[in-house]
Structures are given as C-alpha cells and as structure tokens.
Structure 1
Amino acid sequence: MLNNMKTMLGLVLVLAGLVYYLVNKDSSNGATGEGAWLLPQLQGDVTGELTALKISKGEEHLVMIKKGQQWYVEGGFYADTAPMMQLLQALRAAEKIEAKTSNPENFKQLGLGDDDLKVTLMAGEKVLAAVHLGKKATAPGASFARLGGKDQTWLVTAIDQVAFMSDDWTLKTLIDESAEQVVQVRIDNGSAAVIEINRDPISGTWSLASLPEDKQVKVDAPLLSMASGLASFTIETAMPVDLADKALKISADYQLTTGESIAVKVYQHAADYFVTMNLDKYKNWMFKIPSYKFDALNKSMSDFIEDKVESTATVETPDTQS
C-alpha cells in the first residue's frame, strides 16, 4: 500500500514538473515574441470590415473614414487608398523580434510615448487594432512598436514611417485615361477656331479635323500630347466649387472608347488655375492645378498647322546631244 502511494506521489510530481515546464515554455515564448505576429487579429481578411483609420499624434488627429464604398479624409476630399492599403499590409506583416522595455519612463526614447504617433483601425465602434509606431532601430530592417494601452514595447520587423500630413492621404490623381482610351478631343480656349482631333479606329492614328485647304499639319504637331490630356491627371488641392471670381479660360471635351464624355473646364483667378469635371463624384468640387497643366491644355490652331508647301521636285530630261 505504501509503495503504491509512493508511486502515485512520484507520478504527481512528474506531471507537476511537466506542467510547470510547459507553462514557463509558453510564457517565455510570449515574452520574447520571436516569430509572433504583432497584430494577430489582422491576419484574416479584415479589409472589408474596416470603416475608419485614425492617425494621432498628441492632440492632433487625422481620420480616414469609409462612406459606402468610398474613402474620405474626414472633413475633406476623397482619400488615396494606396497608402492606406500599404499601411494595413505593413501592420499585418509585422512580426515581433524581441521584447524591449516595459518601463513607461523609457517610452519616449523609442518614440512610443502616449503622445507619439499612434495608428488605430476601426470596424464601426469596435477597435480592430491600436498601435504606437516608434523609431527605426539600429538593427537593420527593424523598428519599435507598442500596442495601445500596453506597457510592453517590442522590436518588430520594420514598418515604414507613417505620414501625418493630410495632403499625403488625399487623392491626387483624379483620372487616368491613356490616349488609347480616347477617340476624340475638342479644345476651345476662346480663340478663333476650336481644335478637334480624331483617332482612326483601325490604324489608331490621330488626325486634325477642319484643316483649311491652304494649310497642312505640322510634322511635330502635338496631337498625341493633346489626346493624352487625361492621362495621370493630377491636382494640387481639392476644394468645394466656388467660381464666383474665376474666369473660364479653356473647355476641353474628351470622348472615350466606352462612349463616356468627360468635360474639363479650366478657370483662372489671378495667377492660379482651377478645373472642374463633369464626373458625378467630382461635381461638387473644384481643383487647383499647376500652371504647366494649364499650358498643356491651352492650345490654339496655330500650334498644329502651317502654310501648305507645294512640291517643287523637277523631272530631269535625257541628254539629246550625245
């Protein structure tokens, strides 16, 4: 009987030791975090759930919000989703390398204080993730991070620096239609003749309409450049439409292969230029553009044609005196 009790006690001690080992092993792995995701809750497809992305720094806040299927900078224009998706992918891919300080007095040294940069992802009222993103580490390919509300800091696989200016998150490319997607362009800058160019559906070559009989198209006429007016159409800033003190300078109309017509109107106020577009998503907005974009659209017929040159080639006759 005594031997049986000793055997049972021995088994209990062995099991207790095994449990202690496993608990401490798991705890140790959790502390170092090596190979663990910084934000495991982002490993599923959470893009569809996301309704807001907040970037805060001290008392300043920048918020991108989703309305329907569109993203906006809160209180402003459409948001550029490319840097948003890049940030989301970087957060999803970030792995813990090593646990660092958990002393709040040391957070500022790593750029991880409560008033340092913090990114928060929201799904409705639910916080999907909140994380402070700190300085780059001396170790290559690493930076510091701290989960919101937590004292433990981490060395993680590097997350690129996050911009905090609203302009960096605002949509800058309004439209991007190459010349191959355009079949007709009409430019009216108030001069005597409206310029119209058309693309041949078979050869793809561009030709100038209404060419006077005594004129010819210049060899270096900017037909393709004119047809590319909607390619990577970028802006400086967006603002609500207000044309009260602005003079219409150019009307540019583009007919696309899809049958859609895009009308771009260019206005001037002092030394500044603004455009409007007839697209539904931009109907309440006007956009400031750089002067070089105005120059690219401000074309007259004289830029395309010149006086016709008659052929002066002579025909040589045979020498009859041989």
Structure 2
Amino acid sequence: MNQRTLIALTCAFVVFTSLAIIGQRGQEASNPTSTVFLGGLIAELDSINLIELSIGGNETIATIEREETGWTLAQRNGYLANEQKINRMLLSLAEARIIEAKTANPEWHYRLGVESVDIDNANGVAVRLTGPDLTIKVIIGDDAGEGQVYARKIDEDQSYLIDSDPEVGNSVTDWLDTNILSIATNRIQQVKIQHSDGETLIIAKEGPDQTNFVVSDIPVNRELRYESIANTVGNTLSDISLQDVEMVSDSRGQSTLTEFLTFDGLVITAESANVNGSDWVTFSVGYSSPDNLEEEQSISENAVEVEAEALRLSEKLSGWRYRIPTYQFDQLIKRMEDLLAPLPEESS
C-alpha cells in the first residue's frame, strides 16, 4: 500500500466517523427517550392535594385528598390511604420518561388501553392530579412488561410507551392503608376468647420469653394437637390487615369477643362477626396497669408510653369496622375443640 492510498483511506475513515457522530447526535435529538413524560411535575409534587382515579364509564374509583393527618379516601369516609403507595405513584409519574411515541389515532387507542374512560368498557385508568397551580390529566393504559406501560395525556391524541409503571390499580381498596395493628407477639400475655354461646378459651404466658402459650382448662382425658398450637392465636395481632373498611353504623348481630392483654398493660378487644359471608371486626383499645407494676421498674417507666400508645390506637380504630382475611378472622374465633387432638375412634 503506497502513501497516497494510505492517506486516502485515512481521510475516508475520518469522514465516515464524523458522519456517524453527526448522525448519532441527530438521532438522539429526535429520539424521545430522554424526554420526561410529564415535564414540570417533579417540582410540583409537594403542592398536589387531590388525586382522582376513574375507570370505564367515567366511574370514579378513588378520590384521595391530602389532609393534615395525611392522605385520606373520600369513598371510605376519610379513612387513611396508603401513603407509601401514593408517594410511589406520584414519583413514578413525575420521573417517567418516554421510550417511544405510539399511535396518535384515537381509533387505535383501545389497542394500548389508553382510550377515553368515557367509554364504558375502557381498559385504562384516568389519573387527575390537582394542586393550587396545577392540573394534570393522564390515562395509564396496558402493561407493556419490564416495568413499562402505555400512557396518554387526556387532552392529546398522541400516546406513548413510558419507562415507569405508576401502579394505579382499579379499585378503591387498592389505595387503603391496609395495616390495622402490629403488636409484637412477645408482648402478649393473655388472650381470652368469649363466644356468644358462653364458651370461653384462655391462653397465656408467664413471661415474654416463654416459647408457647399455655391453654387453660383442657378437658380431662384430652390433649392438644401439638404443644405450640395456641401460638397462632397469640400471634394474631402481629400483623393484622384489612381488605376493606366501613364506619360502624349498627350492630352486626351475634359476635365473638377476643381480648388481648400485653405484659405492659395494653388491652385490645376485637369484636368479630361473619356477615353475609364476609368477616368483619371492630377494635377497642385501653390501658390496664400491670399487676407487677411495683415489682418491675422498667414497666413502670414504660407506663406513660403504653398509655399514649393506647390513646393513639383508640383514636385510629374507634368508629371503624374492618373486613379482614379469613385466616386472620379464624384465629379470633378459635374454640377449645380447634386446639385439641381428635378423640381416638372407638373400636367396634
């Protein structure tokens, strides 16, 4: 290869590389990947005070309002909404970036789930965010996989694939703060279950470090199915959650009373009833000075905190009736027979 050929090849390489760089820059400039879907929202997140979610038929499924106590749900009489879920949704919308522009033809919006929610069978969820100086309206459509969804601003025909799924749900219960109570199991001293027919079941521990709850008044010639069987009852309040909630307006008929007493004096009473196939519970909370208050200085020092805890929980739970999962409800209505090993079959 002579020098003239080498120079020519070098020049050609430089020209080709330059054209490639220019082309790449031009592609990046026209590529919407780096474009934020809802520009300006990130700076206004703290000012948003109302979130409205609607589905097909323009049915409002959730009206979430920011109050002094936090986010609340209008459809559940102002019960607390799931603040973490709300914050995740808002941040997801604010940070979402456009991956690809999709159809701008309204007749094809249904293919992506971004058709107007005025249509009865619309698949998407309309999200309206409102603040003092802000109103944003979008439709979140079908899941595209890998954390991506289709979306469209309601006042525009252009739809997009965005890189963040705000997980807007499709029911008011998706937005409830589902935690009711989280009482550590090692705090529970005694559980007393009183049924409407008069049967009473009592389980207890002598100290926080005791492994298993002891069942009182086991019938003669009967034994437990296994030694730790009562622990599931004692563990009930460690993470009890709701599926739905309503304000207490009337009596639910025959019910079971379950009283939980902690070593430090917290008293939680659950009133449980099955109504039309659903399991509902109300809670009341109080404080009872432990018998060993004088003996245990650490408990005495903690008394003020426990009384404050009782007041806080009472304010949260009073006036509400909770629908809870069946497996948790069943622990609140246990009977002695549920804990006992079956009787041996009589020989013929």
TM-score with structure 1 setting the length: 0.68
1:120 correspondence with 2:120: no
- Which structure has more helix as a fraction of its residues? 2
CA contact (8 A) 2:190 2:202 kept: no
How far residue 210 of structure 1 moved from its aligned partner, in angstroms, is 5.9
**Moved segments of 4+, more than 6 Å:** 212-217
Per the alignment, in what secondary structure is the counterpart of residue 86 of structure 2?
Answer: helix
1:220 to 214, 219, 227: 227
CA contact (8 A) 1:242 1:286 kept: no
Could you say if the C-alpha distance between residues 34 and 68 of structure 1 is closer, same or farther in structure 2, counting changes exceeding 3 Å? same
- The whole-number CA distance in structure 1 between the counterparts of 2:315 and 2:249 is 17
1:135 to 139, 142, 160: 142
2:75 paired residue number? 75
Per the alignment, in what secondary structure is the counterpart of residue 75 of structure 1?
Answer: helix
- The whole-number CA distance in structure 2 between the counterparts of 1:167 and 1:120 is 18
2:322 to 276, 287, 291: 287
- The whole-number CA distance in structure 2 between the counterparts of 1:141 and 1:167 is 22
1:90 correspondence with 2:92: yes
Structural mapping, 1:31-180, within 5 Å: 32-44=31-43, 46=45, 48-57=46-55, 58-62=57-61, 63-76=63-76, 77-104=79-106, 106-115=108-117, 117-123=125-131, 125-127=132-134, 129-137=136-144, 142-159=148-165, 162-180=168-186
- The whole-number CA distance in structure 2 between the counterparts of 1:213 and 1:267 is 27
Could you say if the C-alpha distance between residues 175 and 38 of structure 1 is closer, same or farther in structure 2, counting changes exceeding 3 Å? same
- The whole-number CA distance in structure 2 between the counterparts of 1:251 and 1:238 is 19
How far residue 281 of structure 1 moved from its aligned partner, in angstroms, is 2.0
For the aligned residue pairs, the C-alpha RMSD in angstroms reads 3.7
How far residue 298 of structure 1 moved from its aligned partner, in angstroms, is 2.4
Could you say if the C-alpha distance between residues 260 and 253 of structure 1 is closer, same or farther in structure 2, counting changes exceeding 3 Å? same
CA contact (8 A) 1:252 1:265 kept: yes
Per the alignment, in what secondary structure is the counterpart of residue 200 of structure 1?
Answer: coil
Alignment gaps of 5+ in structure 2 = 1-24, 118-123, 285-313, 342-348
CA contact (8 A) 1:208 1:217 kept: no
Deviation by residue 1:114-155 (Cα, 9 ceiling, x = unmatched): 4353212223x4435332223345x96543322342344333
Deviation by residue 1:70-105 (Cα, 9 ceiling, x = unmatched): 333223143333433332232233111233444545
CA contact (8 A) 1:189 1:299 kept: no
TM-score with structure 2 setting the length: 0.64
Per the alignment, in what secondary structure is the counterpart of residue 260 of structure 2?
Answer: strand
- The whole-number CA distance in structure 1 between the counterparts of 2:48 and 2:262 is 34
Could you say if the C-alpha distance between residues 213 and 120 of structure 1 is closer, same or farther in structure 2, counting changes exceeding 3 Å? closer
How far residue 197 of structure 1 moved from its aligned partner, in angstroms, is 0.8
Q: Who wins on radius of gyration, i.e. which is larger?
A: 1
Per the alignment, in what secondary structure is the counterpart of residue 119 of structure 1?
Answer: strand
Give the counterpart letter for 1:130 in structure 2.
K
Per the alignment, in what secondary structure is the counterpart of residue 35 of structure 2?
Answer: coil
How far residue 253 of structure 1 moved from its aligned partner, in angstroms, is 1.7
1:229 correspondence with 2:236: yes
- The whole-number CA distance in structure 2 between the counterparts of 1:132 and 1:269 is 37
Deviation by residue 1:203-257 (Cα, 9 ceiling, x = unmatched): 3434437668989974435231121111332344322214435113x22122346
Alignment gaps of 5+ in structure 1 = 1-24, 307-322
Could you say if the C-alpha distance between residues 37 and 208 of structure 1 is closer, same or farther in structure 2, counting changes exceeding 3 Å? same
Give the counterpart letter for 1:49 in structure 2.
S
Give the counterpart letter for 1:121 in structure 2.
L
Could you say if the C-alpha distance between residues 217 and 92 of structure 1 is closer, same or farther in structure 2, counting changes exceeding 3 Å? farther
1:184 paired residue number? 190
